[in-house]
Structure formats: C-alpha cells, structure tokens
Structure 1
Amino acid sequence: MGIAERACLEQTRNESRRQQVLAGATACFCRHGFHSASMAEIAKTAGMSVGHIYHYFENKEAIIVAIVEGNQAEVLAVMDRIEDSPGPLAQALVDTVSTGVDDCMNLTKTALMLEVLAEAARNPKVAAVVQASDAVLRARMREMLCKAAGPDQDPADPRLDERVETLFTLFQGISVRAIRHSSLDRDQTVRMMQAAIRWILQN
C-alpha cells in the first residue's frame, strides 16, 4: 500500500470515528440535554474512551459546531437535488415540501436542534457558528428563489429576502408545533405549506 493510499485510509477512519462520536453525542444531547450530557457518557454511548474523543473534538462546544456544520451540509445537499430536478424549479420546491415537513416533525432532530439553539442563546461562539450557517443557507435559498422566478427577476429585489425569511420561519415553526401539538396533522400541514409556498413564490 502506497503513502497516498494509507493517508486516504487514515482519513476515512478518522471521519468514521468522528461520525461515531457525533452519533453518540446526538443520542446523549437528545436524552439528557447539552449540559447534562458528560463527555464520559458520550464516550460510553459512542463506544470509545474519553481520551479518544478528545482526539477528534476539543470539547462539547466543538461537537455542537460539527453538528451545525453537518446540518448545513445536509440542507445544502437537499437544495442541490431540488435544483437538479427536471421541470420548473418552483414546482420542484413545492414537491419537496412533504420531505421537509417530515424532517421538521422528526422529534429527535428537533430536540437536537433545540439544544443547539439553546446553547447558541447562551454561548457567543456557538451563536456565531449558528448564525453564519443560517446566512449560508439563506443565501443559497435566495439564489434558488431568484432562479425559480425566471429571467425577469431582479436579483437585487428585497422581496427575495422576505420570501426566504418567511419560508425559513414557516418550516422552523413546524418543529416547535410538532412538540407543542403532538397530534399535528402531517398531511394537512403538507397541503397548507404547499399552498403557502405557491403564494410566496407568486408574490
């Protein structure tokens, strides 16, 4: 095995270990909350020693940063798939609503992101990471909405920002409603969100 192959294998192992830590941390954060989840418990859940965890993450704050970055990559990948869909982009956005609603109604994901946001409200470093990630996602969505509006859309139109903010508010609100209203009707929510998005794209 050459040097390049060994380096690639080591990188793959390291990434696999990082994901193992993140999976363990996610389970602990959702079960006990950020501050109540100790590094020892995260290590036990991840199936490795505490010392091994510190090889990949300096502290719990660094784990949260990685969770935010992972969420950002996941959302950007979804946006890429929407943009690559055949047919009008506006219709592709509407067609993807059901998947988005399902994600927002996933209580495990919601619990994790609420822990992240709660820490961001207390911790300026985490807040900076969360806000920077949100800015990246808003810019990408703005780009997609501009493209979906057609060639006559002015890229500098401030209404694009209003649409992006409204869409983000709608979807993120579903996560909170899914907790507060345990019998929230998923199909009805999808229908109403699709209608709302059609209206937003046309105004």
Structure 2
Amino acid sequence: MREGLMTKNLPPTQGQNTATASQHAALSDKESRSEARRNQILQAATDCFCAHGFHGASMSAISKMARMSPGHVYHYFDSKEAIIEAIVDRDLQQFYELSENLLQVDDLLDCMMAQLHVEEALQVTSCNPLIMVEMSAEASRNARVAAKLHHTDQLVRQRFRQLFFGTTAVSEAERLQQEARVEVICLIFDGVMVRGIHNPSTAREPLRAVLGQVLHLLLKDTSVTTPT
C-alpha cells in the first residue's frame, strides 16, 4: 500500500520513466545476446567454409561448430546464402569504420600502409584469403551470392574513390582515370590475400616496401594520361 502511495505521489512522468528505462535496459540486453549469438554463428560458419568449402559445410556442421541446435541457427539465418550475406555485411561495416578513420588523417598513404597488415593477409590459417576465394567461387554459380558481392564491391569502390579523390566534380576523362586507379588498388588488396595461398613463403617486408611505392604512384601522381 505504501509503495503504491509513493508511486502515486511522484511527478506525472517519473514513475513511467523508471519503467521505461528498465524496459530499455532489458531490450538492450536481449539485443546484445542476440548479436553475440549471430556473431558466434558467423564465426563458426567462417571456420566451416574455410575447412570444408561452401558446399561441404552443411548447416548441421555449422550448428555443431557454433554449439547450437540447427533450429537455433535457422532462427537467425534461413540458409547458407544468408550467412554469407551477413559475413559480407560485417566486413563491409568494418571497412566503412576504417575508411572513416582514414578520412580524418593528413597523410593518407602512411595511414593506409599502417593498416595494410601484409603478414595477416598472407597467412592462410587466418581464413581471410580462403573465405574470399570460397565466396568468389560460389558467386560464379550462385546468382544471390553474386549479386551481394557485386553490390558490396560497388560500395567499396565508391568509398575508395571518395577517400582518394574527394567529391569534387571532374571531367569524364578524369573520372575514368580515378575509377581505373581505384580498380588497381582493389586488385592489389585482393591479390595480396590470394597470393598468400599460392606463395605463402614470400618475403613480407620487401613486399610491403614495393606495395608502398605502387600505392604512392596511384595516390600521389594524379595527372590524367590518355592512350596515344
């Protein structure tokens, strides 16, 4: 009775705000647990894809690796394609976060080289090169995966162009030159990971030095050249 009177005598919204805050805290906790489970599934799927390939990694194997029931996994993802899409979205979000940091620096090239972890990219056991190859292979025969990768690649190239060249309007020739430079930079970053599969013993520091020289040419020498 006393508790009821105390609540009743509070200012009009105070009791409501207390209840709302409690509800928000419970909702936030539930969302955090859900996000943790999603990440647990994505990590398990990544490990399975790297170990067995996309087709060899069944939803049952993924659920076992994640230590969840198949029904629990299907609650979050209705298919392996949905899992791949979530992995791509996660990587894209990480790329955006990195690019936001790069937008704030004075020397873009130095910051890029600091972020270019050659050792990690060439280390096949990290699974990064393998999962990229698996996704690319699946895209060649799976329209849903191909559409996702194509759209994500477009977003990445747009962000790279903004990062390297800004948003100032340029001529058509300059635009094509910028897009070509961005494409070469994407080729470099993708290639570093794939080369880790074909030639994992390559010397890291000389490679890093040469990459720095190439990126310097692509980013610093912005003059437009046209075929003769």
TM-score, structure 2 as length reference: 0.80
Alignment size in residue pairs: 197
Asked if 1:118 corresponds to 2:137, the answer is yes
Asked if 1:28 corresponds to 2:69, the answer is no
| Aligned partner (choices 103, 106, 113) of residue 83 of structure 1 | 103
In the other structure, the counterpart of 1:160 is 178
Deviation of the 1:173 alpha carbon = 1.1
In the other structure, the counterpart of 2:10 is none
In the other structure, the counterpart of 2:82 is 62
Conserved in 2, the CA contact under 8 Å of 1:82 and 1:96? no
How far does the alpha carbon of each residue in 1:67-87 deviate from its partner, in whole angstroms, 9 at most, with x for none? 1111111122222222223x2
| CA distance in 1 between partners of 2:144 and 2:45 (Å) | 19
Asked if 1:92 corresponds to 2:111, the answer is yes
Q: Which amino acid in the other structure matches residue 43 of structure 2?
A: A
Larger Rg: 2
| Aligned partner (choices 139, 145, 148) of residue 158 of structure 2 | 139
How far does the alpha carbon of each residue in 1:178-203 deviate from its partner, in whole angstroms, 9 at most, with x for none? 11112111111111110001111114
| CA distance in 1 between partners of 2:109 and 2:163 (Å) | 9
Q: CA RMSD in A?
A: 1.9
How far does the alpha carbon of each residue in 1:137-195 deviate from its partner, in whole angstroms, 9 at most, with x for none? 10000001114xxx988386221101100000111111221111121111111111100
Q: Which amino acid in the other structure matches residue 105 of structure 1?
A: L
TM-score, structure 1 as length reference: 0.90
Tell me: CA distance 1:64–1:155, structure 2 relative to 1, closer, same or farther (3 Å). farther
Task: Give % identity.
Answer: 32
The 5 A counterparts of 1:41-56 are 41-56=61-76
Q: Which amino acid in the other structure matches residue 195 of structure 1?
A: Q
Tell me: CA distance 1:102–1:72, structure 2 relative to 1, closer, same or farther (3 Å). farther
Deviation of the 1:94 alpha carbon = 4.1
Deviation of the 1:109 alpha carbon = 0.5
Deviation of the 1:31 alpha carbon = 0.6
Question: Is the deviation greater in 37-46 or in 87-96?
Answer: 87-96
In the other structure, the counterpart of 1:104 is 121
Unaligned runs of 5+ in 2: 1-18, 223-228
In the other structure, the counterpart of 2:7 is none
Bigger RCO (CA 8 Å, 6+ sep)? 1
Unaligned runs of 5+ in 1: none
Conserved in 1, the CA contact under 8 Å of 2:85 and 2:145? yes
| CA distance in 2 between partners of 1:106 and 1:142 (Å) | 28
In the other structure, the counterpart of 2:226 is none
Tell me: CA distance 1:134–1:152, structure 2 relative to 1, closer, same or farther (3 Å). closer
Q: Which amino acid in the other structure matches residue 17 of structure 1?
A: R
